[in-house]
Amino acid sequence: MKYILWLLKAAIFFTLFAFALNNQQDATVHFFFGTQWRAPLVLVVLTAFSAGLMVGVLGMVPRWWKHRRAARRAHMSEKLSPTPAAPAPAAPSSPVEILPAHGI
């Protein structure tokens, strides 16, 4: 299994490496007020991917903090007031009826 993972990682690396080699021509990105940026296409794609990743992570940070705070609060309340053990569930008063399977 370890060798299969290494082969998969190597295949992904060589695929991305071939992508980078095939996209070395310059690309121009036009910003506001006539500003432009000229860079190799693979660098432009990598920058756009990284910027999208950062926007996604920054968008999730408040929710992560909220869940972390709720988990910490639940953990603290559990430590302060332990709940007594729950009683064992009662046995059903009537036997369970087993129905035949349809179409057999």
What digits encode the pLDDT tens for the residues 44-79?
888 898 999 999 999 999 999 999 898 888 888 877
Closest CA to 22 of 6, 38, 45: 45
Q: Domain coordinates of the chain in residue numbers? A: 2-77
Half-sphere exposure of 102 (CA within 13 A, CB side): 0
68-83 per-residue burial string, b: 16 or more CB within 10 A, e: under 16: eeeeeeeeeeeeeeee
pLDDT at 90: 64
pLDDT-based confidence at 2, cuts 50/70/90? confident
pLDDT-based confidence at 87, cuts 50/70/90? low
